[in-house]
Amino acid sequence: MAASHTTAPTASSPTASSPTVPSTTVPSTASADTAWGSAGTVRGSDEAFWADADRHLVRYGPAFTPEIIESAAGSFVYTAGGRKLLDFTSGQMSAILGHSHPEIVATVQRQIASLDHLFSGMLSRPVVDLARRLAETLPAPLEKALLLTTGAESNEAAVRMAKLVTGKHEIVSFARSWHGMTQAAASATYSAGRKGYGPGAPGNFAIPVPNAYRPDFTTPDGALDWRRQLDFAFDLIDAQSTGSLAACLVEPILSSGGIIEPPAGYFAALKEKCRERGMLLILDEAQTGLCRTGTWYALERDGVVPDILTLSKTLGAGLPLAAVVTSAEIEQEAYERGFLFFTTHAADPLVAAVGNTVLDVLTRDRLDERARSLGAFLRRGLDEIAGRHDVVGDIRGRGLLAGLELVTDRETRRSSSDLGARVTQRCLELGLHMNIVQLAGMGGVLRMAPPLTATEEELSLGLTILDQAIGESAAAR
């Protein structure tokens, strides 16, 4: 295993018999009674900070975490009040090498001093190198890359390309999907954020999620009959389509949808449904790509190669870098038809250099193997927690992407967002940040995605805190 690069002091892991987890503090990098104002001037106190936040920030999702974050290193973030929080979400599910990885820091310092940003029509060595190296990690015929910034942007470009190449416009996605907040990406997102904004892009359809824990189509023994579900789904798609099916955009493991992984064989059958209708298959590996699940890409499990692959989050290890990867044939057709996706930060050299460093570290430190090993360790710990608490209904995921679903009782399998919110809050109080899904109706599944550089001791600490938080929150119901 690669050594942890955490530079800040770490807490020792409590033993399994520890009744409580003490709050760990570290020296703050700034006085707790100061906050930085305009032009770098110091003003007021923490109260002033929150007053400024309340007055000047647009609220764009759930409530902000009630901590002022001053710094981060490795698997931890540090607050202005001197608290040390174990980060079980890798920031926004992105920092796969942990925070402030020294090689990422060195790359940014070196690159920004020489070549940071260019006119989007200019090319640099980091961009071409990253495109070539990404192709080398992927199965044929995926070899042509477009480098962008965010997952939403990469999905936007992929959908735009698919529509142009096929000459059609209808897009199919999972009913609990999350692909981003820009127009085409948001129109293919069904887990949240659809109401109140008027019509989305025309021709977007949802198909049911093959959820083995809550099967809707069942075999005689009660298991999920995903083949019958998929046939039914496309019967409905065919009935609604105007004959203009362009693409199917899906995640290999639905993350915001609750860490749901379709059964083996599902994606091969889905690709066949697409082929029969002249659709392209787009896989969104924003959270699953680049070793997170124990293989370089989640698509490797089924051996299914999409027509277009989108990457983001993990590719930049916390910096804004995304990619669309497709075949030379599709790229050529798109080019001949006048494909246009000319954005301000397309092919920027600074983040491309970071992407190359990410690939360096993943390869050298064999972080795919590390994710498998640590993922098995995490899974054993979660299974032990499930054995102690009957509010844990299901454990699922792959590698270092794990989900734990909280239920009101195991018989009905009714998910409990209220309990999820209480557990999340108690974890934060005890020093663990987790459960990035905190939107209404989505908090019953606790999502965990620690950095691939985390240690077993850090995972043990997180498991101990989670165990205590579930026990205390369930007892308080």
Per-residue pLDDT reduced to its tens digit, 80-93:
999 999 999 999 99
Within-domain flag for 17: no
Q: Spot the catalytic one: 163, 398, 426, 447.
A: 447
Residue 307 binned pLDDT confidence (cut-offs 50, 70, 90): very high
Within-domain flag for 212: yes
Is 144 a known active-site residue?
A: no
CA angle 315, 319, 322 (to 5 degrees): 40
Residues 435 and 331 in one domain: no
Per-residue pLDDT reduced to its tens digit, 262-274:
999 999 999 999 9
126: domain CATH number is 3.40.640.10
Q: Spot the catalytic one: 87, 156, 170, 284.
A: 284
Which of 330, 364, 398 is the endpoint of a domain? 364
The pLDDT assigned to 441 comes to 59
Residues 269 and 415 in one domain: no
Q: Spot the catalytic one: 144, 271, 313, 398.
A: 313
Residues 307 and 280 in one domain: yes
Q: Spot the catalytic one: 87, 156, 226, 287.
A: 287
| Mean pLDDT for the stretch of residues 351-358 | 98
Within-domain flag for 14: no
Q: Spot the catalytic one: 87, 153, 156, 178.
A: 178
Is 129 a known active-site residue?
A: no
Is residue 436 over pLDDT 90?
no
| Mean pLDDT for the stretch of residues 449-458 | 98
Residues 359 and 317 in one domain: yes
Q: How many CA atoms lie within 13 A of 270 on its CB side?
A: 33
Residues 148 and 226 in one domain: yes
Is residue 135 over pLDDT 80?
yes
Q: Contact at 8 Å (CB) between 145 and 135?
A: yes
Q: Using CA atoms, how far apart are residues 388 and 404, in angstroms rounded to an integer?
A: 13
Within-domain flag for 464: yes
Residues 86 and 235 in one domain: no
Residues 123 and 225 in one domain: yes
Residues 72 and 199 in one domain: no
Is residue 415 over pLDDT 50?
yes
Is residue 16 over pLDDT 80?
no
Give the predicted TM-score (pTM) of the model.
0.90
Q: Contact at 8 Å (CB) between 405 and 415?
A: yes
Residues 6+ apart with CB under 8 A from 235: none
Residues 375 and 267 in one domain: no
Q: Using CA atoms, how far apart are residues 419 and 410, in angstroms rounded to an integer?
A: 14
Q: Spot the catalytic one: 87, 170, 251, 467.
A: 251
Domain carrying residue 85: 35-53+67-95+368-475
Look at strands 401-406 and 445-448 and give their pairing. Answer: antiparallel
Q: How many helices (H) and strands (E) does the chain have?
A: 13, 16
Is 284 a known active-site residue?
A: yes
Per-residue pLDDT reduced to its tens digit, 227-245:
999 999 999 999 999 999 9
436: domain CATH number is 3.90.1150.10
Q: What percent of the chain lies above the pLDDT cut of 70?
A: 89
Which of 336, 364, 392 is the endpoint of a domain? 364
Residues 111 and 183 in one domain: yes
Mean pLDDT of the chain: 91
Residues 199 and 243 in one domain: yes
The pLDDT assigned to 11 comes to 35
Q: Using CA atoms, how far apart are residues 207 and 454, in angstroms rounded to an integer?
A: 36
Is 313 a known active-site residue?
A: yes
Per-residue pLDDT reduced to its tens digit, 28-81:
333 434 444 444 444 558 999 999 999 999 999 888 999 999 999 999 999 999
Residues 406 and 328 in one domain: no
| Count of domains observed in the chain | 2
Look at strands 204-207 and 401-406 and give their pairing. Answer: unpaired
Is 251 a known active-site residue?
A: yes
Is 447 a known active-site residue?
A: yes
Q: Contact at 8 Å (CB) between 465 and 430?
A: yes
The pLDDT assigned to 61 comes to 85
The pLDDT assigned to 477 comes to 75
